Structure 1
Amino acid sequence: MKKIVIVGAVAGGATVASQIRYYDKEAQIVVFDQDDTMSYGACGMPYVIGGKISDPEHLIAATPDEFKTERNIDVFLKHRVTKINRQLKSVEVLNLETQQSFNESYDFLILSPGGTPIVPETPGMESATMFTLRNFNDMKKINHYLATEKPKSCVIVGAGFIGVEMAENLVEIGLNVSIVEKSPQVMNILDVDCSALVEKELSDHGVRIFKDNFITNVNDSKISLDSGETLEADFILMSIGVSPSTKLAKDAGLIIGDTGGIITNEFLQTNDSSIYTIGDAAENKDFITGDAKRVPLAWPAHRQAFIVAKHITGEQIPFKGLLGTAICKVFSLDVALTGLNEKTLKDSSFEFKTITQKSKSNAGYYPDHAKVYLKVHYDSLSRKVLGAQAVGGKGIDKRIDVLSTAIYAGLTVDDLQALELAYAPPYSSPKDPVNMVGYRAK
């Protein structure tokens, strides 16, 4: 009987535990997590804070009791794995409530430790009310603060996915919101023109944006910026990124890669074949270029969990790499991307061309339609689709999913003409915007 120990009980850890049990009814599975909540939908946290999801408990998919009774999986919350002994194939575990440590043996160890919010050292920050939003307890603290202190204003540091989603949700519950972003654009993973559409949407909803800027000093509610401007806010939300939690792996001699994640092979094994890594801390490869890549999003964690579960239970299914497909809501806009962006392509050896398509989401004569801004990059020689971005009021998820599939399948930009996509006036046009990209490509 195999014994599998899993570190982390959120998206990757809880999923891999369940999937191993699905394929192996006899394996002993033990899960440790230092937090007091497991298997919750972290992506839904901004929408709990914004009131769109009324009950935080709705985010929780399972409890330790349910895992034990329904799946015969042992989950220990408030337990931190502090050391890996690779020679003895055991981990040292600290019970955070009793402060007692014990050892747990394993045949296979799966690391799904997630990441830690990056909080830069800033003079005076200790005088401010400051939050990060990384786990369920962070969300509860923010909700409690909003309910009890009734703040009127917030400065969000960082204009990535969480930053812009939180800007929307805080504005919609009545706060004045400013964003401070060190890069020259919001959502710097986007091409500049797509980013500009997001910035306009934020500005149109009253969000003040300070690009090419960072906080130099904090004095209670007064926040000084590198540009010389001073902002005032009741609290700060730090949302500049996540550092993969790799100390446990480093201390055990596992190899850390260029992205800061733990290097894994096509089966998510580390340099120790009995230890796997999935989720935010795992470094894999880019699907298109083969370069090192780390994508701290839910889809990779769930896919990697399946690959590991299959591998441990005897079936080798290789992980083919990451496209970084993602989408987020910014007020009335949906913003999505997949594959390589313009900056990455320019920095690489690709010769590429770009088609920008401005369309309506569906038939213009149908009363419910919106603008779609679609941008597709393709290889000048092979004509394979390399990347895409889409911004608009509706139907953005459909287009980016089609283009993600096209990249995965190795389709060319010309193949987009021939895709037989669903059409009726409420949904699209006889020639979908994706088709139009194919027709217009030269």
Structure 2
Amino acid sequence: MRTVIIGGVAGGMSAATRLRRLDEQREIVVFERGPYVSYANCGLPYYVGGVISDRSALLLQTPQSLASRFRLDVRTGHEVLFIDAAARTVTVLDHASGETSTEAYDELVLAVGATAREAAGHPGIPTHTLRTVEDVDAIGALLETAEDGAGDPSALVVGGGFIGLEAVENLVRRGIHVTLIQRGPHILTPLDAEMVVQLEAELRSHGVDVRTSVTIDTVQDGVVVLDDGSVLRPDFIVDASGVVPSVDLARTAGLTLGPTGGIAVDESNRTSDQHIYAVGDGVEKVDALSGGEALVTMAGLANRHGRSVADVIAGRPERNTPALGTAIVKVFDTVAAKVGWSERQLVSARRAHRVIHTHPASHATYYPGAQSMSMKLLVDPESDAILGAQIVGGDGVDKRIDVLAVAVAGGITASGLARLELAYAPQFGSAKDPVNQLGYVADNLRTGATAAIQWHELEDAVAAGATLIDVRTAGEHAAGAIPDALNIPVDELRSRLAELPDGPLVVHCQVGQRGHTAARILAQHGFDVVNLDGGYRTWAAGAATRVRQPAGV
């Protein structure tokens, strides 16, 4: 039996090496059009920034090492031009010799990934993506030229997603002045607006010129004109504006493409042709929340699906689990992570949801070095299922997002987070871990022990007649307050009930906890009261976005 794999790196090489472990006799041929078949593409930005100093550390395997250990026939510099699905052959161009050949297969695995959304160059300005070893070599050469020239070197990064942010950080590390432009109203669009305020502030604190709701209008003779009329003269451009599935081979082979534009596959990654499989960034996944098709471009999924395809080809039944879209990025000293859907997605899909914001510390506050986190949990109000989560902070973000991802995968409800038994010592967490705290809030809302409104709902509530009560200390109130809030500290609340007006009340503190206590006091004294979710800190972050959010469904 002969299996041909088109494309290496995560999905293709995972399929090839796993298949060899399962089948020693099979002939396995890998065609890779580039010079490198196995490299750490997630580490590329950090080589640009000098965090990873040894270029060879990025090159995980070579054709020779793969042949020695796995008896794989790996051919770099070989581009598959055409798939004849009926004949079960591929036409291959050898870039070194210029000759083409026809290669037969019993099973074919497409692992060709995705390509940059905007691959066109810009006249007079070197432009590169940041996806391959060749890209970082080219950017490295540009950096050396820019650093050796007169004046302060500068770069324009297009796109504020995960790759764009990593590119920005590492260019700054090299002493480059960076302008970051983002088409939408805020960077890192998988997160909601109020959650990225801290991240944008972190970028600006390191000298990054962050510009949102702006795109390139024209580029001519080394001058970039943005659509807001502003002019830039960068030494080079890094295009991180996104990717699209590479589907040309699939299309010409007659394979079915899905509604997202990616290659349609079944739960075993089999395409519409029973002898052709597909994995990686160019393939549609099943969204864990909607059950519909989605494009999720994550290295972990590519590796996992490459492995599962090998199992299927070897005769071992294997099915993909739906994709959660778990992701994380670190920009200077700030970490942002997410799993599942954002509030924006839920509103767009008109799906009912409940929102919870908390601002816990990474570990016990009495132990030195505790760092604040901002956490957001999205919950189905009927089933109490976790629909999504976002965390921004420093230490401990990775641990908590992974716990939440496992909770979603395991079907643990939002309230069930309160009952998780998590590792605790003062330097690692709190006796009430931040994940547990999310569960306590979720349970209070589920059971009706408290009611809450969101930061973007406050204006309408006040306009409808509600009175806002700030239950923080007088000093906190004086340092910054929501307009027209009446300040009555929570510790004085019982003795000052007579000062409260008739009608509905909205209470708030700094992060929500004292607000919950105040709401419980007032509710038991007969007041109509809700707590402002996430307190003043969440409201301030939301107000800073200057983007009015939908009030929900």
Bin the TM-score by the shorter chain: over 0.9
Matched, 1:137 2:138: no
Counterpart residue identity of residue 385, structure 2: K
Which whole-Å CA distance do the structure 1 matches of 2:180 and 2:144 have between them?
A: 22
- Once the two structures are TM-superposed, the CA of residue 348 in structure 1 deviates from its matched residue by 2.1
Matched, 1:376 2:377: yes
Counterpart residue identity of residue 296, structure 1: T
SS of corresponding position for 2:430 = coil
Counterpart residue identity of residue 365, structure 2: G
SS of corresponding position for 1:162 = helix
Residue aligning to 2:305: 304
Which whole-Å CA distance do the structure 2 matches of 1:425 and 1:284 have between them?
A: 40
Which whole-Å CA distance do the structure 2 matches of 1:220 and 1:198 have between them?
A: 33
Q: Give 1:62-211 correspondences, 5 Å limit.
A: 62-119=61-118, 125-150=122-147, 152-211=153-212
How many residues of Structure 1 are paired with residues of Structure 2 in the alignment? 439
Residue aligning to 1:423: 424
Once the two structures are superposed, residues 367-409 of structure 1 have per-residue CA deviations (whole angstroms, 9 ceiling, x without a partner) of 1221111111010000011100000011111000000011111
Once the two structures are superposed, residues 207-254 of structure 1 have per-residue CA deviations (whole angstroms, 9 ceiling, x without a partner) of 111111111112333211000111121111111011211101000011
Which whole-Å CA distance do the structure 1 matches of 2:351 and 2:417 have between them?
A: 20
Residue aligning to 1:279: 280
Residue aligning to 1:224: 225
Which whole-Å CA distance do the structure 2 matches of 1:128 and 1:302 have between them?
A: 35
Residue aligning to 2:511: none
Which whole-Å CA distance do the structure 1 matches of 2:263 and 2:124 have between them?
A: 35
Which whole-Å CA distance do the structure 2 matches of 1:33 and 1:439 have between them?
A: 51
Consecutive aligned runs of 4 or more in structure 1 exceeding 6 Å deviation: none
Residue aligning to 1:49: 48
Once the two structures are superposed, residues 114-151 of structure 1 have per-residue CA deviations (whole angstroms, 9 ceiling, x without a partner) of 111122658xx222121111111111111122123426
Matched, 1:352 2:353: yes
Which whole-Å CA distance do the structure 1 matches of 2:338 and 2:414 have between them?
A: 16
SS of corresponding position for 2:373 = strand
SS of corresponding position for 1:426 = coil
Counterpart residue identity of residue 360, structure 1: A
Residue aligning to 2:394: 393
SS of corresponding position for 1:399 = helix
Residue aligning to 2:547: none
Larger Rg belongs to: 2
Residue aligning to 2:456: none
Matched, 1:329 2:333: no
Which whole-Å CA distance do the structure 1 matches of 2:369 and 2:25 have between them?
A: 53
Q: Which consecutive unaligned segments of at least 5 residues does structure 2 have?
A: 446-553
Q: Which consecutive unaligned segments of at least 5 residues does structure 1 have?
A: none
Which whole-Å CA distance do the structure 2 matches of 1:357 and 1:114 have between them?
A: 37
CA contact (8 A) 2:38 2:59 kept: yes
CA contact (8 A) 2:31 2:80 kept: yes
Matched, 1:439 2:440: yes
CA contact (8 A) 2:5 2:108 kept: yes
Q: What is the root-mean-square deviation of aligned Cα atoms in Å?
A: 1.2
Which whole-Å CA distance do the structure 2 matches of 1:407 and 1:197 have between them?
A: 26
Matched, 1:61 2:54: no
Which whole-Å CA distance do the structure 2 matches of 1:171 and 1:88 have between them?
A: 52
> Higher RCO, 1 or 2 (CA under 8 Å, sep at least 6)?
1
- Cα 1:121/1:3, change in 2 over 3 Å: closer
SS of corresponding position for 2:281 = helix
Counterpart residue identity of residue 302, structure 1: N
Matched, 1:9 2:17: no
Residue aligning to 1:317: 318
Counterpart residue identity of residue 63, structure 1: T
Which whole-Å CA distance do the structure 1 matches of 2:112 and 2:119 have between them?
A: 21
CA contact (8 A) 2:123 2:222 kept: no
Counterpart residue identity of residue 414, structure 1: S
Identity of matched residues, %: 39
TM-score when normalising by structure 2: 0.78
SS of corresponding position for 1:282 = coil
Once the two structures are superposed, residues 42-98 of structure 1 have per-residue CA deviations (whole angstroms, 9 ceiling, x without a partner) of 000000000000011101111000111111100000000010011111111000111
Which whole-Å CA distance do the structure 2 matches of 1:349 and 1:187 have between them?
A: 22
Which whole-Å CA distance do the structure 1 matches of 2:265 and 2:350 have between them?
A: 25
SS of corresponding position for 1:279 = coil
SS of corresponding position for 1:201 = helix
SS of corresponding position for 1:262 = coil
CA contact (8 A) 2:146 2:235 kept: no
Which whole-Å CA distance do the structure 2 matches of 1:215 and 1:350 have between them?
A: 34
